[in-house]
A and B are shown apart, each in its own frame.
Chain A
Amino acid sequence: MAVRGDDAERGVNEAMSGSELFWSSGTWLFVVGQVLVLVIVGIIYAYQARKEQEALGGGRR
């Protein structure tokens, strides 16, 4: 078995290919994090646009 003690604990399995390791170890979550940044920025953008509209007396469109 290619899995070593410490490595096994953090999901490093030498029997796996690099692609399998990328998905199984959660490395793909880095990309999800960046998508989340875009979502948060989009929400803040929309919120500030609505507040500016309200401040100008226009209220919700």
Chain B
Amino acid sequence: MTTTYVVFVLYLITLLAIGWYFMNRVRTYEDFVIGGRRIGPFASSFSLVSSYMSGYTYTAAPGLSYRSGYSTLWWATGDAPGNALSFGVLGRRLRRYAELLRAISLPEYLERRFNSPSLRLLSGLVILITVAMYLVAQFVATGKLVSVMFNTSYITGMVIGSFVVIIYTLMGGYLAVVYTDVIQFSLMWVLTHVLFWTALAMAGGFAAFNDALARISPQLIVPAGPDNAYGTFLAALTPIVLIIMGSFGLPHVTIRHLSLKDPRNARHAMLITAIFVVTFSFIYYMIGALARVLLLTAPADVEEAGIRLWFSILHPVLAGLMSSAAVASIMSTADSFLILLTSTLSHDFLNRYFMPTATDQERLRVGRILVAVLAVVAFIVAIRPPALVFTIVIFAFGAMALALGVPNLFSVYWRRTTEAGVIACMVLSLIVYVGATVGKWNVFGLHPFMLGLIVAVAAIVVVSLLSKPPEGEPLAVFDTAGGYGPLPPAVRAGASAMVSHEIALAIERTASRPTPREAGGATPAYGWRGAVDAAG
């Protein structure tokens, strides 16, 4: 156990060193919350995956396959297409749009895309509530995992894990988050492979493993799973759609799109992500099924199956590294939530409404103070977590996929999308999702998420079509964002006077009527032109 401790402590020191290294490289507020938009495709890819893979990866996922065998792969199936296509399908356009609108957060993007302060407030509130619940859950998971692995108390485990995350995020901001994520996912990928292949060899190989699993129950082998849980088309499709839509809506995923160095990097990141997630997601799920075959005694809690397995079969050094990888899966998610909460509170609420004239240094200082305050609050809540915290987290995942994922996709792909359509989508889908979950509505046997998804798509389409269609400037920016050519050079250089000129030229080519400015009308207070003018 001493070796395991030493390896784990070395890992924590490495993370702190990365935070310290980036502390002096964070010079502006944009550096702190979005890494100054200079993250390459490889780091963006690994960072997205590691923040997406939370404490669930080494506890709940193996627990599921321990109980249900291969049928849990319905959940794993959505990981790779969701993560990868979020870059190629959503990320490339979102990144171009965000740069054109000079937006550094999702609520700010929605406000400027639809010229709607209400949307910034609404999306900011959705992020604030759901992400805060997630952060508490990550701290709880850290406490549980460290206490099980190192035989400490829950509070000690939480203090060790949370303290390190808070310190390196406070020091290095988003840059530290991204580069610690790269190390964390590398560790997770390599060590999970070591564990999986070692366990498979000990089970006697693939055929022998299947035979052993079938001897426990043949239902562990078939796709329909025990009790025919995934025996219908809809039951099998629901987890795949939920996971894919989550990747389009989770704000800690979309922030990786906004921070890409260049929109063209999105396709490189898509390819890297597809390769690494395809070769990872089935493996981490199936650790539980391997544990069911190899462990001599059943764990008291099936979610400890994976942990019991690596302490049973791996060398102490590898077990220590594997434990570090498990904690890494939680830390890499918790650090993203800390940055995201800070960005939402400071950028979308505080700076937007109360400190609009604050300098970059003042915003940076406020950002760091908020990281510390939020972390302490989340820590205090996590000491005595609500009993239903993990149920709430699973529920929050669906809420974000509906309220943010659907508007994100429509905002970059459908020119006709309007502010009213997006607001109706967010509000109605959440009402139906909450109602169907809490009230256990049975509408054609649909899962609450699928019901919410149908309502979300119907609401955004119908209400957009019924409201006044967008025209002129927003359509010109929409077309520029959807294109493949380089963005206007002045936009890239951040020269706002030239930005107006460059985009005005694009508008002249595509707009169906004169812009308000050309027609002598007032410039909108918000929206792309407002953003550009404000920057000037």
Contacts and interface: CB of A to CB of B under 8 A. Distances in A.
Contacts of A49: 267
A48 B76 CA distance: 27
A7 B92 CA distance: 46
B439 interface: no
Contacts of A34: 77, 80, 278, 282
Interface in B193-246: 206-207, 209-215, 218-219, 221-224, 228, 231
Interface in A11-61: 11-14, 16-19, 21-22, 25-27, 29-31, 33-34, 37-38, 40-42, 44-45, 48-49, 51-52, 54-56
A29 to B, nearest CB: 7
A18 B215 contact: yes
Contacts of B451: none
Contacts of A19: 206-207, 210-211
A18 B220 CA distance: 9
A37 B210 CA distance: 25
Contacts of A48: 88, 92, 267, 484
A22 B213 CA distance: 11
Contacts of A38: 274-275, 278
Contact of A30 (B73, B215, B483, B485): B73
The interface centre, meaning the residue of B85, B212, B278 with most chain A CB atoms within 10 A of its CB, is: B278
Contacts of B274: 37-38, 41
B70 interface: yes
**Residue from A12, A16, A31, A41 with most neighbouring chain B CB atoms (10 Å):** A41
A56 B485 contact: yes
| Residue with the highest number of chain B CB atoms closer than 10 Å, among A18, A44, A52 | A18
Given A6-B228, A30-B73, A21 B84 contact: no
Contact of B88 (A27, A29, A31, A44): A44
Given A26-B223, A44-B267, A18 B210 contact: yes
B267 A21 contact: no
Nearest to B227: A6
Nearest to B69: A27
A21 B221 contact: yes
A18 B221 contact: yes
Contacts of A14: 218
B231 A12 contact: no
A37 B485 CA distance: 27
B271 A42 contact: yes
B212 A18 contact: yes
Contact of A21 (B80, B88, B218, B270): B218
B385 interface: no
B212 to A, nearest CB: 7
Contact of B222 (A25, A42, A44): A25
Contact of B77 (A6, A7, A33): A33
A18 B211 contact: yes
A18 B218 CA distance: 7
Contacts of A31: 282
B299 interface: no
B322 to A, nearest CB: 24
Interface string B270-286: 11001100100010000
Nearest to A41: B274
Given A18-B213, A42-B271, A56 B486 contact: yes
B270 A54 contact: no
Interface string B344-388: 000000000000000000000000000000000000000000000
A20 B7 CA distance: 42
Contact of B267 (A18, A30, A45): A45
A34 B274 CA distance: 9
B267 A10 contact: no
A18 B264 contact: no
B275 A45 contact: no
B221 A55 contact: no
A17 B210 CA distance: 8
Given A37-B81, A45-B271, A51 B484 contact: yes
Contacts of B221: 12, 18, 21-22, 25, 27
A10 B89 CA distance: 36
A37 B484 contact: no
Interface centre among A13, A19, A40, A56 (most CB of B within 10 A): A19
Given A30-B70, A34-B278, A51-B484, A44 B270 contact: yes
A41 B271 contact: yes
Nearest to B273: A41
B278 A37 contact: yes
B46 to A, nearest CB: 16
Contacts of A7: 218-219
Contact of B84 (A33, A37, A56): A37
A36 to B, nearest CB: 9
Given A30-B70, A48-B92, A55 B81 contact: no
8 contacts: A7-B218, A22-B210, A25-B223, A30-B282, A37-B84, A38-B274, A44-B267, A55-B484
Given A34-B80, A41-B85, 18 more contacts: A10-B224, A10-B228, A12-B221, A13-B218, A17-B211, A18-B210, A18-B221, A21-B214, A21-B218, A25-B221, A26-B223, A27-B221, A30-B77, A37-B80, A37-B84, A41-B270, A51-B484, A52-B484
Nearest first, the 7 A-B pairs at minimum CB distance are A18-B214, A18-B210, A55-B485, A55-B484, A18-B211, A41-B274, A51-B484
